Amino acid sequence: KSENFIKCRSNITSLVDCNNWVAEFGKINHLKWNSRSSTPNGKKITC
């Protein structure tokens, strides 16, 4: 288990679905997520 990696399961099938899921999950849990298309420092969100 990596400290910088969180694995979530969902029925995401596209990048649009991923963006919608992140927005909804963040709103429900009062979280702010910053996402971008680049991968600075080798970190990324994989949907």
3-state secondary structure string, 21-46? HHHHHHHHCCCCCCCCCCCHHHCCCC
Q: Mean per-residue pLDDT for 12-18?
A: 80
pLDDT above 60 for 14: yes
DSSP 17: H
Q: Would 20 be classed as within a structural domain?
A: yes
More confident residue, 25 or 45: 25
Q: Would 45 be classed as within a structural domain?
A: no
Containing domain of residue 21, as a range? 10-34
Q: What pLDDT is attached to residue 39? A: 53
Q: What pLDDT is attached to residue 22? A: 80
Q: Would 39 be classed as within a structural domain?
A: no
Q: Would 21 be classed as within a structural domain?
A: yes
Q: What's the CA gap between 38 and 31, in Å, rounded?
A: 21
More confident residue, 16 or 9: 16
Q: Would 42 be classed as within a structural domain?
A: no
Q: Would 17 be classed as within a structural domain?
A: yes
Q: Count of domains in the chain?
A: 1
Does this model's pTM top 0.85? My answer is no
Q: Would 14 be classed as within a structural domain?
A: yes
